[in-house]
Amino acid sequence: MTATGSNLPPVLRPAHPPRRRLDDLAARFGGEVRGDAADIELSGITLATADLRPGEAFVAIQGSGRHGAEFASTAAEAGAVAIVTDEAGATIAADAGLPIVVVDHPRALLGDLSAWVYGTAEDLPVLLATTGTNGKTSVSHLLEGVLGQLGVATGLSSTAERHIAGEVIVSRLTTPEASEFHALLALMRERGVEAVAVEVSAQALSRHRVDGIVFDVAGFTNLTHDHLDDYADMREYFEAKLPLFRPDRSRRAVVCLDSSYGAEVAARAEVPVTTIVTPAIAADAAASADWTVDIVEERQDGTVFTLRETGFTLTGPDRRTLTTTVPVIGRHMAANAGLAIVMLLEAGYAWERLADALDGGRIDAQLPGRTQRVSGERGPAVYVDFGHSPDAFEKTLAAVRRVTPGKVVMLFGADGDRDATKRHDMGRTAVEGSDVVIVTDHHPRREDPDGIRATLIEGARRARQDAEVLEFSPPERAILEAVARVGEGDAILWAGPGHQDYRDIKGVRTPYSARELARRALRDAGWPVPEPSWHVPYPDGETPLSDPDRDWR
């Protein structure tokens, strides 16, 4: 397949991959060779011709509209040395001039093929997987942060970023395709990474993106309304998560009981399970959990920009306990941190070592776009967050409300061409948790943005007919309108964009930064704004804004 969007980050490869013979691949995986495979060696494997490098095999699979084998000639021109495909693909690719290995189900085989090609079936770093609707990214970055405090060289693969021993690369998918993932793991191993935190989505499990990998520990955060564009209902979505908790996918599991699905995950897991709960979120489950996360303090100091934290005490078997803080507001963030700590304990890191690093201190982690404050010491607090589901809205709004003495303004949009069934609930949750709701655009993709906004507004007004619900498009104008409605002691939560550096408009990734737009709006209103503590590279020196100089007033 070819890449579908612009400005996509690169796919990474190990510098010194193993050399694999094509005839050995065919023999190992029961493939039929068509053409001359003698003396052909592979240096890699990929699904996408846009990412293909000379010496690699191109795996051609049936897509939703076209067969990847239609791009066989493009693959040959890019330096592919072979095609791996099914019978239908072999017929289509016959004229490309490359040897073909025919297998029955290339998509289902891709993980094992990639593990063999890159040598990732053994001798890997410690692998830590997190799944769930919300919290995957936060847990992954918290795992990385704690591991860093332990002195461990880390890797990370999250919705926001890929990290390799300190190098940061923007992500493409929540979980990479299997060929990309195994190449990434091979590169991490090559660079001395000792432990890797990975987000694993339901789609990754359904679409074989983590095949060929057994994680040392799998963590479960929660399950709430989302992704019903991919799954028929919540039961099917839930069932798609469960394979991660089987012996062919993981060795141990840590399951959070804060959502109603946690208990069922724990009961149906086929690997040893440890459970954890946050009584402030799910009091009824506290008695049955192995570990508890008790909130000590949650605060946002308006005069010290850097002081945003939630203190908590983690208590477990044998009266083991430690008290620490997570550098972001929200009880759900303390729950994520507790899950991360127990996952590390289950992975074999000693309790004494964890306690020495964390007890009485603070987790040193960067959580990109997670309730990220972009405002300064005076004036309204403005938070940019990645949350894009009703549950995420509810929890983050509640966290902002607890530290805001004045009114709370909720600014948000919804993804186009994604789960539309959650939009009414997004509007309802937004209006129930805030004083003013402002609906704007997010990623319209190929859907009509006017229709998306109308559904969100309908959900909000159904829930509270007397609520102040406003509509502004585009988001450049919406944030100006939001800032105009707040003052000292108030807060704005801009949910949806988080860490992202683009908007998807009709299939094109337009450079864009909600964080910079918010800072600019505050500055224009006369409020002091701190210098950003992040850096994301943009092509050709572009500022990550769309229409930045237009006067939306």
- Tell me what percent of the residues of the chain surpass a pLDDT of 70: 91
Mutual angle of helices 331-346 and 136-149, in 10-degree steps: 60
104 lies in a domain?
Answer: yes
Asked if residue 294 and residue 234 are part of one domain, the reply reads yes
Of 333, 358, 383, which residue constitutes the final position of a domain? 358
How many Å apart are CA 497 and CA 278, to the nearest integer? 27
Residues 101 and 181 in one domain: no
Average pLDDT, the chain: 89
Residues 285 and 413 in one domain: no
Q: What confidence score (pLDDT) does residue 549 get?
A: 34
Per-residue pLDDT at 227? 65
Q: Which residue reads 């791996």 in tokens?
A: 84
Of 90, 110, 91, 98, nearest to 74 by C-alpha is 98
Q: Which domain CATH number covers 93?
A: 3.40.1390.10
Q: Is the pLDDT of residue 268 over 90?
A: yes
Q: Is the pLDDT of residue 304 over 50?
A: no
**Confidence at residue 172, expressed as pLDDT on a 0 to 100 scale:** 57
Domain count along the chain: 3
Q: What pLDDT is attached to residue 456?
A: 96
Domain boundary among 118, 143, 166: 118
Whether the Cβ atoms of residue 451 and residue 487 lie closer than 8 Å to each other? no
pLDDT higher than threshold 70 for residue 282: yes
Last residue of a domain, one of 311, 327, 358: 358
pLDDT band at 533 (very low <50, low <70, confident <90, very high): low
Predicted local confidence at residue 306, as pLDDT: 40
**Nearest partner of 494 among 441, 418, 422, 548, judged by Cα:** 441
**Rounded-to-integer distance, Cα 174 and Cα 377, Å:** 34
* CATH code (residue 320): 3.40.1190.10
pLDDT value at 99 more than 90? yes
Is residue 112 assigned to a domain? yes
Q: Which amino acid is at 521?
A: A
Together in a domain, 510 and 384? yes
Place of tokens 């592979």: 42
Q: Is residue 552 part of a domain?
A: no
Residue 64 in this model has a pLDDT that exceeds 90: no
- Give the separation between CA 478 and CA 121, rounded to whole angstroms: 50
Residue 315 counted as domain residue: yes
- Going by C-alpha positions, the residue among 392, 366, 355 that lies closest to residue 140 is 366
Q: How confident is the model at residue 479 (pLDDT cuts 50, 70, 90)?
A: very high
Residue with more model confidence, 372 or 173? 372
pTM score of the predicted model: 0.81
530 inside domain: yes
C-alpha closest to that of 298 among 284, 309, 287: 309
Q: Are residues 94 and 134 in the same domain?
A: no
pLDDT tens column, 140-162: 999 999 999 999 999 999 877 88
Domain ranges, residue 269: 126-358
Same domain, 92 and 216: no
